A and B are shown apart, each in its own frame.
Chain A
Amino acid sequence: MQAIQLHQPASLADAAKLRSGNDDARFLAGGQSLLAAMKLGLNSATDLINLAALPDLAGIKVDGNRIVIGAMTRHADVAANADVKRLIPALAVLAGSIGDRQVRNVGTLGGSIANADPASDYPAAVVGLGATVRTNQREIAADAFFTGLYETALQNGEIITAVSFPVPEKAGYVKFKAPASRFALVGVFVSKGTGGVRVAVTGAAGSVFRAAGVEAALAGNWSAAAAKAVKLSADNLNSDLHATAEYRAHLIPVLASRAVTAAG
């Protein structure tokens, strides 16, 4: 068993400093993916920088026509929040569907999107709502944030502080779970708002992506039938033990249509 140094920085600046220059350091933002990976020997971090004690990173605020959720806000708190339920119920549903009760009581929004697991739920909401990711250095648009398999636009030492979600006119999320892991075999988030129609897909490829064909169909006709009628190519989708790319390509319009129905 490998020794690990646990750091408890008092400020964002201290946290960033601990990370810079140490390639074997990782931010601990709930640890529901990181700690499991370390236990399996898939991550050999020597230093963990715990973000839990930093002030002002957790919490949910309504700011005009946006909801701003602190990076260290737990999934359970998002799922139960009255403002989220009132203004973006699909986001509350999504947060309440992540992992299991234990995961939701420890895992955080910032930790989830920084990890950028290709089958996790939050990336679908961030991209599907066209949110803005705030860091200790800048603001990053959702479409520019997720860059690949477990990869994001975050630089070394950059720490997510919050995610700002625009309140949509309508939004819905439907997840088709893989039977073993209960991660999304495919998950589809749809929204319609001032920025137009967005359809984000998780679980189906190396990273969350927007399904342009479904977006075009829904932009012309916001209906379950319009979404379902779209045929998608299986190119660039995942084929693995649990599903072929062809099946995933078939599921995306089906789930998009159900998400439209769920959006009301």
Chain B
Amino acid sequence: MKADGIGARVTRKEDHRFLTGNGQYTDDISLPRQTYAAFVRSPHAHAKINGVDSASAAAMPGVVAIFTGKDIAASGIGGLPCGWLIHSKDGTPMKEPPHHILAVDKARYVGDQVAVVIAETLEQARAAAEAVSVDYDVLPAVVDTATASKAKASVHDAAADNVCYVWGHGDAAAVDKAIASAHHVSSLDIVNNRLAPNAIEPRAANAAYDKSSDSYTLYVSNQNPHVERLLMCAFVLGIPEHKMRVIAPDVGGGFGSKIFLYAEETVLVWASKRVGRPIKWTADRMEAFLSDAHGRDHVTNVQLAMDANGKFTGMKVTTTANVGAYLSTFASSVPTILYATLLAGQYTTPAIYAEVTAVFTNTSPVDAYRGAGRPEATYVVERIVETAARDMKLDPAEIRRRNFITTFPYATPVGLTYDIGDYPACLDKALKLADYAGFPARQAEAKTRGKLRGIGLSSYIEACGLAPSNVAGALGARAGLFEAGEVRVHPTGKVTVFTGSHSHGQGHETTFAQVVADKLGIPIDDVDIQHGDTGKVLFGMGTYGSRSLAVGGSAIFKAVDKVIAKGKKIAAHLLEAADTDIEFKDGVFKVAGTDKNVPFANVALTAYVPHNYPLDKLEPGLNENAFYDPTNFTYPAGTHICEVEVDPDTGKTQIVNFTAVDDFGNIINPMIVEGQVHGGLAQGIGQALLEGCVYDSESGQLLTATYMDYAMPRADDLPNFQVATHVTPCTHNPLGVKGCGEAGAIGSPAALMNAITHAVGVKDIAMPATSERVWRALQGRA
């Protein structure tokens, strides 16, 4: 193995920049004649807007312009699009009420944008925004997920019962039959709590219009600048794409929340031409809580049918998913395509049916958040499997083993074909690392200290590497899901790689450079990775769904192959040999079976100084593009084991051990993979133990809109993680990789909740399992 090649623990190239405060984030960028925006946001969850009086605000010092929803509507601008069309089981398309970029007639959640104030300074913009007077008639708010479809009020007139769609997936009749003939049916009612994404860098944008070229530049904290450009230009503002450059510079975390096209940056671009000056906006933390798309928020009943041996025969899942006040960019796909297709988990359950009712409420829009549908699916499957083990008096590891898929490829009853995996191997490795066999002794010892000890498993699977474009299209996607890459070899043999993937914490500048350096046999410092700029990168679908390496990395891999293929032709000319006789290894082109060779850098120089060059057959230059469209999803999978101690006097849970054994396929940089797993576990543990958006059930006010009230996981909430991998290489991409960014957040909540409910001896405790909830469960146990 090369010291900085594939498989090496190369320290992150980007970290020096970040750790020394030299990152360049959107808010760091100020343009000549910069102005600043502040949004007037609705203080009400649901209100009719009778009028907006901005006259006194407009007269305040430094105010450049104030725009309202009426101004936007008058210019003929439509609303924000939803990127995935879901059909109800009766064949009707989902309800897609307009999502104005500034509210026109009604405000539909606390934080909904009603007007924008643009001023010379941020302070002036904020002061004037406070002076904008909006005449509201407050309306009853729809808040609760489970009862939204029965609420008296309607969030949108177009969906009087607040139902966006009722979607069915799988074979309902087969499942009903399995349940009717089962030896035992386990059942569970669970809630997947709503989360705020909390990227450390809040959303930000800076939009500029250049009159001389009639073009726009948008700096935005975003995970997929090309998608942002496409959606904003083609579906909202009608700006020709070639007149818009979107730059997502250093981005301080996204977790899904920066995939989407939001109202704020769209308003800024629209207004930048009107005021003729660049406009900058950066969310403060409370705005982030209110206006970032939230995650999860499912209410589910699951039933699992079994035979006498604990072999699963059918599963029925009924879910209500809260999509919030408006359909965010990918909101419709998360509780459907990204959720129900994963309900087979790692098991051979032959019949599965899921029915998902998506409801509108007067709350922040809900969309993809680290894992996006797959954590919800895993939570359903792994909680009911644990419940089944308890019902059947089987060891939780044993019931899993009895039901594991062991032959591949495997077509699930919910539409996916798993290419490869080794679920028993991951389970066994995790059981060993967690010393599962020693648990009863540790439990007994804890009892002597008055503590309740519990252990919980979660054998998760996810579908990553989104996605075969034709499959996604058939399922309702309104976009392709390939990735693009360009490998530009400079005359000296140094390499700049342009990727459509976007790094906002993942470490692409290192991982991708390792792949290229390894393949070209050059030092990693000779490779630079460029991303996040539609003016530089040929195209891109961006980073989400653990897709960057599997899809974006594969595009780069293909482009490098093209570089090597052309390099061989140049080398053949220089070495006076046939193309087919040239081998490329360790950075050197060589005539097979001889010592005649030419290094990579010499070939590069020849390509750009083509004096001795086959100009009649070959173009000069060494610069190759590739697009890669995967043929299948990738299927990372593994087993997480969590061990907890509960203090019965207070209900406080302490995680005493957490083990994660994951199969991510081949590993490029083990250190970065471990970091991704650690971060994901922290988020999953945060969901299970600490986090949760709470809305007042009457007023629809978000009660958890600061860090005084919304609990993020801190270092002392977490144990030292034991992480390991087991490798079965992905069969259908050239790197054999599957993706690792979301697994931690997907597998861990179920493991933790299985452990807590095991310790306490109850069927369920709602997430987050606060000390009081656990204490109450203990009181009720008796």
A254 to B450, CA, bound (A): 13
Given the known interface contacts A1-B127, A241-B703, A251-B650, the answer about A181 and B772 at a Cβ–Cβ threshold of 8 Å is: no
Find out whether the CB atom of A247 lies under 8 angstroms from the CB atom of B775: yes
Chain A residues contacting B694 (CB-CB under 8 Å) are 241
Chain B residues contacting A228 (CB-CB under 8 Å) are 649
Find out whether the CB atom of B708 lies under 8 angstroms from the CB atom of A179: no
**B770 is an interface residue with CB less than 8 A from chain A:** yes
**B690 is an interface residue with CB less than 8 A from chain A:** yes
Chain A residues contacting B770 (CB-CB under 8 Å) are 179, 242
Q: Write out, one digit per residue, whether chain B residues 465-498 have a CB within 8 A of any chain A CB (1) or not (0).
A: 0000000000000000000000000000000000
Chain B residues contacting A181 (CB-CB under 8 Å) are 707-709
Most buried by B among A1, A179, A180, A181: A179
**A250 is an interface residue with CB less than 8 A from chain B:** yes
Which A219-264 residues have a C-beta within 8 angstroms of B?
A: 228, 241-244, 247, 250-251, 254
Minimum Cβ distance to chain A for residue B695 (Å): 11
Chain A residues contacting B711 (CB-CB under 8 Å) are 178-180
Which A176-206 residues have a C-beta within 8 angstroms of B?
A: 176, 178-181
Minimum Cβ distance to chain A for residue B610 (Å): 62
**B123 is an interface residue with CB less than 8 A from chain A:** yes
Which of the residues A180, A243, A244 comes within 8 Å of B707, measured between beta carbons?
A: A180
Which A76-107 residues have a C-beta within 8 angstroms of B?
A: none
Q: Write out, one digit per residue, whether chain B residues 691-717 have a CB within 8 A of any chain A CB (1) or not (0).
A: 000100000000110011111100001
Minimum Cβ distance to chain A for residue B677 (Å): 23
Find out whether the CB atom of B709 lies under 8 angstroms from the CB atom of A241: yes
Find out whether the CB atom of B772 lies under 8 angstroms from the CB atom of A244: yes
Minimum Cβ distance to chain B for residue A95 (Å): 19
Minimum Cβ distance to chain A for residue B324 (Å): 21
Find out whether the CB atom of B775 lies under 8 angstroms from the CB atom of A250: yes
**Which bracket fits the contact residues of B?**
20 to 34
Chain B residues contacting A251 (CB-CB under 8 Å) are 650
Given the known interface contacts A176-B650, A241-B703, the answer about A247 and B709 at a Cβ–Cβ threshold of 8 Å is: no
Chain B residues contacting A244 (CB-CB under 8 Å) are 772
Closest B residue by C-beta to A254 = B649
Find out whether the CB atom of A247 lies under 8 angstroms from the CB atom of B708: no
Find out whether the CB atom of B708 lies under 8 angstroms from the CB atom of A180: yes
Closest A residue by C-beta to B652 = A176
A178 to B771, CA, bound (A): 10
Which B635-682 residues have a C-beta within 8 angstroms of A?
A: 649-650, 652
Chain B residues contacting A241 (CB-CB under 8 Å) are 694, 703-704, 709
A49 to B227, CA, bound (A): 53
Find out whether the CB atom of B650 lies under 8 angstroms from the CB atom of A180: no
A189 to B772, CA, bound (A): 21
Which B334-358 residues have a C-beta within 8 angstroms of A?
A: none
A180 to B705, CA, bound (A): 11
Find out whether the CB atom of B772 lies under 8 angstroms from the CB atom of A247: yes
Chain A residues contacting B689 (CB-CB under 8 Å) are 179
Find out whether the CB atom of B690 lies under 8 angstroms from the CB atom of A179: yes
Most buried by B among A176, A180, A250, A251: A180
Closest A residue by C-beta to B647 = A254
Closest A residue by C-beta to B286 = A40
Q: Write out, one digit per residue, whether chain A residues 163-185 have a CB within 8 A of any chain B CB (1) or not (0).
A: 00000000000001011110000
Closest B residue by C-beta to A176 = B650
Closest A residue by C-beta to B712 = A180
A243 to B773, CA, bound (A): 9
A241 to B694, CA, bound (A): 8
A180 to B707, CA, bound (A): 6
Minimum Cβ distance to chain B for residue A247 (Å): 4
Chain A residues contacting B772 (CB-CB under 8 Å) are 243-244, 247
Minimum Cβ distance to chain B for residue A195 (Å): 29
Closest B residue by C-beta to A258 = B649
Chain A residues contacting B690 (CB-CB under 8 Å) are 179-180
A247 to B652, CA, bound (A): 12
A250 to B778, CA, bound (A): 13
Chain A residues contacting B707 (CB-CB under 8 Å) are 180-181
Chain B residues contacting A180 (CB-CB under 8 Å) are 690, 704, 707-712
Minimum Cβ distance to chain B for residue A242 (Å): 8
A41 to B127, CA, bound (A): 12
Closest B residue by C-beta to A179 = B711
A247 to B772, CA, bound (A): 7
Chain A residues contacting B652 (CB-CB under 8 Å) are 176
Minimum Cβ distance to chain A for residue B288 (Å): 15
Chain B residues contacting A243 (CB-CB under 8 Å) are 772
A247 to B649, CA, bound (A): 11
Chain A residues contacting B771 (CB-CB under 8 Å) are 176, 247
A179 to B688, CA, bound (A): 13
Q: Write out, one digit per residue, whether chain B residues 596-618 have a CB within 8 A of any chain A CB (1) or not (0).
A: 00000000000000000000000
Closest B residue by C-beta to A257 = B649
Minimum Cβ distance to chain B for residue A109 (Å): 23
Chain B residues contacting A242 (CB-CB under 8 Å) are 709, 770
A1 to B772, CA, bound (A): 40
Closest B residue by C-beta to A2 = B127
Chain A residues contacting B650 (CB-CB under 8 Å) are 176, 251, 254
Minimum Cβ distance to chain A for residue B347 (Å): 34
Minimum Cβ distance to chain B for residue A257 (Å): 8
Chain A residues contacting B126 (CB-CB under 8 Å) are 1
Chain B residues contacting A254 (CB-CB under 8 Å) are 649-650
A1 to B707, CA, bound (A): 23
A243 to B774, CA, bound (A): 12
A1 to B652, CA, bound (A): 42
A150 to B650, CA, bound (A): 28
A134 to B386, CA, bound (A): 61
Minimum Cβ distance to chain A for residue B44 (Å): 19
A242 to B711, CA, bound (A): 10
Minimum Cβ distance to chain A for residue B679 (Å): 19
Minimum Cβ distance to chain B for residue A78 (Å): 23
Chain A residues contacting B708 (CB-CB under 8 Å) are 180-181
Known A180-B690, A180-B704, A241-B704; 16 more pairs at CB < 8 Å = A1-B123, A1-B126, A1-B127, A176-B650, A178-B711, A179-B689, A180-B708, A180-B710, A180-B711, A180-B712, A181-B707, A181-B709, A241-B703, A242-B709, A251-B650, A254-B649
Identify 20 residue pairs between A and B in the complex whose beta-carbon atoms are under 8 Å apart, listed by A's number: A1-B123, A1-B126, A176-B652, A179-B689, A179-B711, A180-B704, A180-B707, A180-B708, A181-B708, A181-B709, A241-B694, A241-B703, A241-B704, A242-B709, A242-B770, A247-B772, A247-B776, A251-B650, A254-B649, A254-B650
Instruction: Give chain A's interface residues, CB within 8 Å of chain B.
Output: 1, 176, 178-181, 228, 241-244, 247, 250-251, 254
Which 3 pairs, one residue from A and one from B, show the smallest C-beta to C-beta distance?
Answer: A180-B711, A179-B711, A1-B123
